[in-house]
Amino acid sequence: MSTSTESAPKTLSWKVGGMDCASCATKIRGAVERLPGVGDVRLSVMSETLTLVLDETQTSAATVEKRVNGLGYTTAALAQAPVVKPAAEAGACCGGHGHSHDHDRADHGHDHAGHDHAAHKSGKAAGGDEADRGHGLPGHVHEATPEGARWYRTGKGRLVLVTGALLAAAWIVGAVRHDIAYWAFLVACLIGVAPVAKRAFAAARAGIPFTIEMLMTIAAIGALFIGAAEEAALVVFLFAVGEVLEGVAADRARASIRALGALVPKTAIVEENGVGRQVDATSLSIGQIVLVRPGDRIPADGEITDGTSGIDESPVTGESVPKTKGVGEPVYAGSVNREAALRIRVEKAAQDNTIARIIRLVEEAQEARAPTERFIDRFSRWYMPAIVGLALAVALVPPLLFAGEWSVWIYRALALLLIGCPCALVISVPAAIAAALSAGARQGLLMKGGVVIETAARTGLVAFDKTGTLTQGRPRVTDIVALGRDGRDVLALAAAVEAGSAHPLAEAVLERARADAVAFVPAAEAAALAGQGVTGKVDGRTVFVGAPRHATSRAPFDRSAHAAVESLESAGKTVAAVIVDGMLAGLIALRDEPREDAAAAMAELRAMGVRATMLTGDNARTAAAIAGALGMEHQAELMPDGKVAALKQLAAGTTVMMVGDGINDAPALAAAGIGIAMGSGTDVALETADGAVLKSRVSDVPAMIRLARAAMGNIRANIAIALGLKAVFLVTSVLGYTGLWVAILADTGATVLVTANALRLLRFDAGKPA
């Protein structure tokens, strides 16, 4: 930690070990905000970082660390505080990504350990009080298993071993010497409960008295006073076991996000003046040329300047089939170069590459709490004091009013305290949300938080932009109508005249000629006629390619030619006439065709009971043709503000999801109930949207809705499990059928059960229709 003598407040940052949930963040926030000279406290649960502004003339950094350590967490100062911006700007930043992975070949590159998430920072998490307020029981410390470390090397793991050994020793001593058995269990209980009590009182001093540690301490000490030392020691041991199990389960949900960061290599080979040198990948700057050998992972987002190779983008997009890419085409950090050496110009800095953006989006999403989670948070605020009040009533009322035995009713009250802990309930939602977000990220489906998941699950209508979303975004030749000559000859003549043009329609003609292996020689005297078409000389013949309405003045069109033009245009296609020396040689039809999976995706949405409509700025005839082929509703000739108005009208009766890819879609994405950007789209669309489909597949839209519905089903099941078990054991504890050790076992069991159920979502295949 920097210790400058300057008096100006400084931004400092720590890695906080064991901060696994929003309630942990709440406790830390409450503890450090009370220190003089501390301000702008920001925590990121996903990256386990604490950032604050500190006036060291009032409070030292060591004092902050001591306060956090007293709550049962570990702290490690970071050399540089992550840059944290407000939520509105979060998309543009992602701190410094401290990846520490070897630049391995792809065959070995999957086994990266030691990824340091410390420098990742969520702007949304840091910026909003609601995000950091905590999901329930504030004192429930979860200690994540450090990456690569065994459970028994963690603090909680060592507590399990110590309390287990003490308990076993007490049983052995008790079997040999019955007269000292009580004292053996007393010692085992006190040693085991000491670290728990320390955390409990530290939290109480910070103004948070109702914690699981406090309940645990009261129950254990209370049991000792009524002579139940053996059960008290057993309860402490089971509590420690439960903490370890919860920590391991929570860390599994975080592991898939760590794995994303492990995809980016640590080093890169930069070429300067023909000489290559190895540098840190995080130091790459825009414009540098990097050499990527066959088998290497690509170190940065960029553009190929030399070479052609098969690129495996599955680590980034989930797309399993490698794509052949050449000069001028984009590539993404973390992708694997499979075939030949490539030279790539860096287009984005390390903190802005695709992997970094995915991690940032998921980290932000972890902090954007679902409405259900916020409700449970509010519920737990009065539930905990109510349980404590009920336990007091159980302990006092029967003995005072009905001559009940004090030891019996105090014992039942202590059991009630333990079973009343709402840990399973408050973790049921965030555990499922975290697992769903991680599963989605691995499958190329990004959703920015629990509120997005809940909204997506309720979606009743999906509105799609046309160009670049439902379609490829570029025209393709669909029909060649030859009139009096061979179709390949018509294509060759058109390609010869279009050879020098960069117009999208010209590129489509040239692409079709290459695909059909049609040979042609670029035309002589080629010229573009503004608003009409292009003309040129091919083997001494004058060739014109242009719209039929301009071609009719250059050549006669008979009835069949007019009918062919009308038929093609009614199908929403753009028609180009090919005229040779004043005679119509043929017609070429082009259209921006729907993506291959678009029709199947519409069928999936219908099967799920979700309507689909297309909102486009294109002309009505083309929109009707595309929508008709896909079996969906449509509205055409809409400007960006028109799309917003249409969405508001559609949203009157149901939850609407908008899917788009361009800058012109950004207002509509923001206005919809939930906005989803296609991964191939613009940065503006990706940052404005509530989520993204990175594979740019239309079928991923129903997949995202399926994942959201599965997550909400999982949450409902978790809540039912948690409340059901609590209800049963609350009754049995008051009636005396279950004791202390059963109570803590039921509480821990319920917490582990709902966490394990949530982790099932990590294996959910969203692409498979139910």
| Dist. CA 46–CA 438, nearest whole Å | 11
The sign of the torsion formed by the CA atoms of 725, 233, 171, 228 equals negative
Q: What is the C-alpha to C-alpha distance for residues 437 and 368, in angstroms, rounded to an integer?
A: 11
The answer to whether the Cα torsion of 157, 161, 164, 166 is positive or negative is: negative
Compute CA 583 distance to the chain's CA centroid, rounded to the nearest angstrom: 59
Query: Reading across the β-sheet that carries 302-306, which strands appear in turn?
Result: 275-280, 267-272, 289-292, 342-346, 302-306, 330-331
Run of H or E residues at 687:
helix 683-688
Sign of CA dihedral 500, 512, 630, 683: negative
Cβ(387)–Cβ(413) under 8 Å?
Answer: no
How long a stretch of residues is the chain?
Answer: 770
The Cα–Cα gap between 26 and 381 comes to 13
Tell me the Cα Rg of the chain. Answer: 33
The phi and psi torsions of 44 (rounded to 5 degrees) equal: -120, 110
From CA 81, how far away is CA 467, in angstroms rounded? Answer: 42
Cα dihedral 221, 224, 226, 229, rounded to 10, equals 140
What is the distance between the alpha carbons of residues 503 and 265, in angstroms, rounded to a whole number?
A: 39
117 CB-side CA count, 13 A:
28
Residue among 251, 296, 301, 465 flagged as catalytic: 465
For residues 623 and 636, the answer to whether their CB atoms sit within 8 Å is yes
Contact call for residues 299 and 347 (beta carbons, < 8 A): no
Active site residue 20: no
Nearest to 191 by CA among 174, 215, 169: 169
CA distances from 465 to 58, 596, 683, 691 (A): 56, 16, 16, 15
Helix axes 423-442, 229-261, angle to 10 degrees: 20
For the chain, report the end-to-end CA distance as a whole number of angstroms: 53
- The number of helix segments (H) and strand segments (E) in the chain equals 25, 26
* Structure tokens given for 363: 């980290």
Name which of 142, 201, 202, 146 is nearest 22 in CA terms. 142
Active-site annotation, residues: 465
